[in-house]
């Protein structure tokens, strides 16, 4: 009896080939023929596993998002407070570690560049960014509430943290030698800590009185 094709392995091979071709030729130059040549597979086999290159792109973004989420969940598993969970997120996105993949960061930067000039890539990028913002808002809101603070600017703070992360990715991929090694995660945590401490205490009555004193929750591990 013939062996069944390893569909998961083939799909991963094709997705990685798209990433490599995009790094050289951009999304517009990533034709099925180019992807096939990079992967060492026949064009017909590419079509067997994926309808078109847009579907491959979606899989690439999903695989990068899954890697990032798994990195966060491993760190958050031991977190006991909202502040520790937020720091787990910051470390998962910005800190070094045995599970770090610089090529994954470079691939995400590449997708972001392509999103500027290609509407199809932009839609996929925006969906991924929207999911990320939802997670960041939840973490920040929980952290602020645990510290007895107002959450009126959580949307702006979430966008700022995501923008910092994206900028750190670009620097890490294109100008690593120009920035201090390992600066991003500690700086992001310090920035969040300062914002949380400076934010107004949450009102606890309709009369406008505020909780006092506010608890000083740090965005860091114990």
Confidence at residue 207, expressed as pLDDT on a 0 to 100 scale:
42
Separation CA 114–CA 61 (nearest Å) = 12
Per CATH, domain 54-198 is 3.40.50.720: no
Separation CA 91–CA 103 (nearest Å) = 17
Please tell me what DSSP assigns to residue 189: H
Confidence at residue 202, expressed as pLDDT on a 0 to 100 scale:
77
Confidence at residue 211, expressed as pLDDT on a 0 to 100 scale:
45
In sequence order, what DSSP letters do the residues of 2-18 get, joined into one string? PPPP-HHHHHHHHHHHH
Whether the pLDDT of residue 64 is over 80: the answer is yes
Mean pLDDT score across all residues of the chain: 87
Choose from 87-96, 109-118, 211-220 the range with maximum mean pLDDT. 87-96
CATH number of 1-50: 1.10.10.60
Whether the pLDDT of residue 69 is over 50: the answer is yes
Q: Where are the domains of the chain?
A: 1-50, 54-198
Confidence at residue 215, expressed as pLDDT on a 0 to 100 scale:
52
Per-residue model confidence as pLDDT tens digits over 13-38: 999 999 888 888 888 888 999 999 99
Per-residue model confidence as pLDDT tens digits over 206-221: 444 444 444 555 566 4
């Amino acid at each position: 009896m013939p062996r069944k094709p390893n569909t998961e392995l083939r799909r991963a091979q094709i997705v990685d080939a798209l990433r490599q071709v995009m790094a050289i030729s951009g999304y517009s130059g990533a034709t099925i023929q180019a992807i096939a040549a990079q992967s060492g597979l026949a064009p017909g086999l590419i079509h067997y596993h994926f309808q078109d290159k847009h579907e491959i792109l979606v899989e690439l973004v999903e695989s990068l998002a899954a890697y990032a989420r798994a990195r966060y969940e491993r760190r958050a598993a031991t977190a006991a407070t909202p502040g520790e969970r937020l720091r787990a997120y910051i470390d998962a996105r910005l800190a070094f570690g045995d599970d770090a993949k610089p090529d994954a960061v470079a691939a995400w930067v590449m997708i972001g560049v392509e999103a500027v000039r290609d509407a199809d890539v932009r839609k996929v990028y925006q969906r991924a960014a929207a999911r990320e913002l939802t997670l960041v808002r939840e973490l920040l809101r929980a952290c602020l509430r645990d510290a007895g603070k107002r959450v009126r600017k959580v949307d702006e703070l979430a966008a700022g943290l995501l923008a910092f992360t994206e900028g750190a990715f670009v620097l890490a991929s294109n100008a690593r030698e120009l920035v201090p090694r390992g600066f991003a995660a500690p700086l992001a945590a310090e920035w969040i800590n300062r914002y949380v401490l400076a934010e107004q205490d949450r009102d606890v009555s309709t009369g406008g009185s505020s909780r006092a004193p506010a608890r000083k929750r740090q965005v860091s591990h114990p």
